[in-house]
Amino acid sequence: MDQRAEIRDFLATRRAHLTPEQVGLPRGGGTRRVPGLRREEVAVLAGVSTDWYIRLERGHIADVSDDVLDAVARALQLDEAEHTHLFNLARAAKPAARKPRRRSTSQLRPSVQRILDSMTTTAAFVRNGRLDILAANPLGRAIYSGVFDEPAHRNNIARFNFLDPRAETFHPDWDAARDTTVALLRTEAGRDPHNRELTDLVGELATRSDAFRTRWGAHNVRLHRAGLKSFRHPAVGRLDLDFDAMDLPSDNAEKLTLTAYTAEPGTPAADALSLLASWAATHITSGTK
């Protein structure tokens, strides 16, 4: 990935999301030629010269101090995910971080699969930053049966969400699901921009899906720690589940996340999850192979 282009486009899209009124600046007269803030307005808010900010937005970020990056982040009103992404882009721009590499897949400890399998009323799985599912318990495999039952997806959630027509039915809010998918991949690309497997996946999806390519160009990022997730499973119908995502230690630099879906006892979601567990008992085995 072209790091200077990544920095330029990220900052430009963040700028475009803000208006002078939102940051306490006068709008001024005449027609504005750009959506959102002008570069000189961001420079004023960050306390730097316009020439300096223009240079930064052109990708010259490797030697910028953390204090100045923080000032730019405040000026652009970046949220936590965007703030972290900006710092990741700066770190990746340093010469020592620019060598592309192909990662070996993390080998999960057998105890991780035992932990997953012990969660009998919870759907749980482990994924990496590319959204490959590396391990799952039967309920986790049952929820994502569409990801696992098509070999071409290679256990990858993003391929399912963009290349499998079943995804439109599986996600009650398909657009939101695809927005989240791309934002998570974009976040990982900032954290690990020289990962060839990730670059290959992005290239594949951008080539095969207009919906992916448009979203990728928006440069949106996000953290995905907890919330509500909804599915429409072909075997049991609607599932509205709470999710919690936790980082796992890895034997290399790969980011691993354990995600658990649960339902409050006595709710329709808990009944549906129990029904899914019965279905999984006859249709699903543990593991990802």
> Percentages helix, strand, coil for the chain, rounded to the nearest 5?
50, 15, 35
The pLDDT of residue 103 is 57
CA atoms within 13 A on the CB side of 70: 3
User: Tens of pLDDT along 27-43?
Assistant: 765 667 777 999 999 99
| pLDDT, average across residues 161-183 | 98
Question: What is the percent of the chain with per-residue pLDDT over 90, rounded to a whole number?
Answer: 77
User: Tens of pLDDT along 258-275?
Assistant: 999 999 999 999 999 999
The token pair that represents 264 in the structure block: 């409050």
The pLDDT of residue 285 is 59
- pLDDT for residue 284 is more than 50: yes
User: Tens of pLDDT along 110-149?
Assistant: 999 999 999 999 999 999 999 999 999 999 999 999 999 9
- pLDDT bin (cut points 50, 70, 90) of residue 1 is low
Q: Please, which residues bridge with residue 227 across strands?
A: 243
Which of 144, 125, 155, 114 shows the shortest CA–CA distance to 280? 144
**47: alpha, beta or left? (left if phi > 0; alpha if psi -120 to 50):** left
Which 3 state secondary structure label does DSSP give 187?
helix
The pLDDT of residue 167 is 98
| pLDDT, average across residues 233-246 | 96
What are the structural domains, with CATH classification, of the chain? 3-97 (1.10.260.40), 110-283 (3.30.450.180)
DSSP 21: G
What span, in angstroms and rounded, lies between the C-alpha atoms of 146 and 162?
A: 12
Exposed e or buried b per residue across 210-248, where buried means at least 16 C-beta atoms within 10 angstroms of its C-beta: eebeebbeebbbbeeeeeebebebeebeebbbebeeeeb
What span, in angstroms and rounded, lies between the C-alpha atoms of 131 and 134?
A: 9
What span, in angstroms and rounded, lies between the C-alpha atoms of 94 and 100?
A: 13
The token pair that represents 116 in the structure block: 């997953």
| pLDDT, average across residues 50-73 | 92
- pLDDT for residue 283 is more than 90: no
Which of 168, 246, 124, 266 shows the shortest CA–CA distance to 160? 168
DSSP assignments along 211-260, one per residue = HHHHHHTTT-----SEEEEEEEETTTEEEEEEEEEEEE--SSS--EEEEE
DSSP 132: B
Which of 55, 150, 117, 111 shows the shortest CA–CA distance to 248? 111
Q: Distance between alpha carbon 163 and the CA centroid of its chain, in Å? A: 17
What span, in angstroms and rounded, lies between the C-alpha atoms of 57 and 252?
A: 32
What value, to the nearest 5°, has the Cα angle with vertex 200 and ends 103 and 221?
90
The pLDDT of residue 289 is 45
